[in-house]
Chain A
């Protein structure tokens, strides 16, 4: 970490990086930059092959703060770059030319805060297509000026000679939810793909600002309904980091068991839905059979089958019982015997291989520029798994591998997800063997949390990849700002790039391989 601080000092004169305690804050170093210095700082990180993790805006009443989080894929080194801007005339230089992933984040901030990013190619609406009269995330009511409204409304697909537009979604069998992708087609080939978001936008980030920390807990499972445990875990860990709440060992192990069960569940559903996208309908029913076994086990302790809210600040809602442990053991045994079946049904199928091999190939550079996460990132050959990189809960006490791909194509994402299911089973087996006794809940967790002023960032590896939660506390009992960096959002950003020039059928195969969960993108 000291290395990077020295490098920043010499590389970008004029900024003062400081080292930060990682366990307390969730990032390693922080620096303040003025809007004029920003491009220089970002270029510095780009040259050192950092990726842009997230771009966050926070309203501190007398100033707006833009936070750029940079990290590397191979060694955890998270740098927070904060830029203060004037709330009356909020402008900042756009970094979308350097980082493609910044493009959507900047659009989102423009829509919610009114910050104008100079040099951005398209400042149109990302979520709120019905129009807004004031910027929803500003602390004071700031009306949207007419020129800004015109800028926001600029998304208009226009037809041309020899091409036509089709709407893939918002109601379409293969978008798995209400995602809309406007495709500019030349016959069966796609010339341009433009995702249109916001059909399931609920503004969880605004909701968080109006609730206490406890009240927001159930919201977490509603963002990613397939990986609810991971989202739940991420939020709980973030608040625990913010309020310095200790967690007993037993809770840590149960947390990873439940999260890994949920991960298998999510990957199984992906497998079934993906093959349905490719036209094979039978595996869908097979995976539901396996998934059912997990749901039954989790229902016994968490009380729900899909939108779990099992973890609490300092522990768990409920201790696991013998039925849970026996059920989990039985499931693990059953699941090990199922892989050969999927192997025969799917991997051995020449049609499946020909549909997926060499399709949607992602290079390492693309993966970095777009900030893709999870199995899609690992398919490009980057062994980045946050369970290993920044171990949380009890992940540092179990042994597992990070499967990576060779070609970065759609077939690799399939292989990685299957291998991840096997590794999840290994984690569950080890965690069950090591499961300690003792309390499942920390003592003396206050009913009303009043965390100290400041911010924290917490990452967890969800089934879809890196989830980051950024919380700003103003010493009240609820967050003053909460930002969710969700994996599907950044994975969808790369889709237009991958879909360029491919057949419609391949676009469906690529879209499916990204494993998007729409409520998570729209939040």
Chain B
């Protein structure tokens, strides 16, 4: 049905508006569903049952949480750098929305297919770092600041292997457009040809989303809550929303680049796409409830001395083989 609407809308601008509304709706539903899933999965991994009181299987719990957050008083620290402090939660949300525009949910279900699609995503995801830094600096809290500084160092370090792991796929598909990359996997998923790149990308993406074992920017036992310590109410909810949406985006990119995106037999494309994406989301949640946190120097050493050389080697070998 959405396909029909998109064709009906006709003009590019109309298509964009409808697409953005769809994306916004998806972002909210996705975040609500993921918070529920995270709590339910965590519960079962920890020998308890998770939320169960609000609605069947606790399904309404995230909505109750959202209402609670909306109703909370919004506190601003007295010494906060106000423009930065206010702007940060909003700014963290922009790249999230932009990324959705180029992700192909199905052969026809894509807001717009830009021929440098992956560059758009990677470029905008760097804005996230800026907003985290703004949040940490603007809060005028030492724990927030340490969290923000950690976050910048971590994200810069892990963007490199992430990009280096995506490059071989781009070389194989001969395109930067996400749709063409998916189409390139008609016969064989790239994860079979590029298993190393997939693993490197996945590790780097866990680090990019600040999830355990790389959750140093918000390491609870060290930094209380890291860069969002001083945020409350809806502002905190925006950080929360962005985090969960980011988890979905990195998983969606992994599905698109390595697991054949929307391609699969019998079921419609979008189902395949969501199945693959949410499986990776599940793995990320699974990691969080299993592993302890690494230390900061270990984290950076792992990126600079482990992942980056490995990804580079993989890139050179892929390039050499393609030339042959």
Contact = CB atoms under 8 A, between A and B. Distances in A.
Contacts of A505: 216, 219, 222, 293, 295-296
Contact of B296 (A164, A285, A351, A503): A503
Interface in A251-296: 275-282, 284-286, 289
B292 A503 contact: no
A354 B298 contact: yes
Contact of A280 (B291, B296, B297): B291
A139 interface: no
Contacts of B219: 279, 505
Interface string B288-324: 0111111111100000000000000000000000000
Nearest to A512: B221
B212 interface: yes
Contact of A279 (B42, B45, B48, B215): B215
Contacts of A275: 292
A486 to B, nearest CB: 24
B142 A279 contact: no
Contact of A504 (B45, B215, B222): B222
Contact of B221 (A188, A285, A508): A508
A34 interface: no
A289 B221 contact: no
A355 interface: yes
Given A279-B219, A282-B45, A285-B47, A188 B146 contact: yes
B3 interface: no
Contacts of A279: 212-213, 215, 219-221, 291-293
A334 to B, nearest CB: 14
Nearest to B299: A505
B46 interface: yes
A351 B293 contact: yes
A276 B47 contact: no
Nearest to A278: B292
B273 interface: no
Interface size class of A (residues with CB under 8 A): 20 to 34
B239 interface: no
A503 B216 CA distance: 13
Contacts of B221: 173-174, 276-279, 508
B5 interface: no
Interface string A295-327: 000000000000000000000000000000000
A183 to B, nearest CB: 10
B291 A164 contact: no
A271 to B, nearest CB: 12
A355 B142 contact: no
Contacts of B143: 166
Nearest to B215: A279
B24 interface: no
Interface in B208-247: 212-213, 215-216, 219-222, 224
Contacts of B290: 280, 282, 345
A338 interface: no
Most chain A CB atoms below 10 A, which of B142, B146, B213, B291: B291
Chain B, interface size: which category?
Answer: 20 to 34
Contacts of A48: none
A287 to B, nearest CB: 11
Given A285-B48, A505-B222, A188 B296 contact: yes
A352 B298 CA distance: 12
A349 B22 CA distance: 42
Interface string B133-146: 00000000011001
A172 interface: yes
A254 B216 CA distance: 47
A503 B297 contact: yes
Nearest to B150: A188
B283 to A, nearest CB: 15
A276 B292 CA distance: 8
A504 B145 CA distance: 14
A166 B142 contact: yes
Contacts of A284: 46
A120 B290 CA distance: 48
A172 B45 contact: no
A166 B146 CA distance: 11
Contacts of B297: 503
A164 B142 contact: yes
Interface in B143-176: 143, 146, 150
A452 B292 CA distance: 55
Contacts of B224: 172-173
30 contacts: A166-B142, A166-B143, A173-B220, A188-B296, A278-B292, A279-B291, A279-B292, A279-B293, A280-B212, A280-B291, A281-B42, A281-B46, A282-B290, A284-B46, A285-B48, A286-B46, A286-B47, A289-B47, A345-B290, A349-B291, A352-B292, A355-B294, A355-B295, A355-B298, A503-B296, A503-B297, A504-B146, A504-B222, A505-B293, A508-B222
Interface of A: 164, 166, 172-174, 188, 275-282, 284-286, 289, 345, 349, 351-352, 354-355, 503-506, 508
Given A279-B291, A282-B46, A285-B48, 18 more contacts: A166-B146, A173-B220, A173-B221, A174-B222, A188-B146, A275-B292, A276-B221, A279-B212, A279-B213, A279-B221, A279-B292, A280-B291, A282-B289, A284-B46, A289-B47, A352-B292, A505-B293, A508-B222
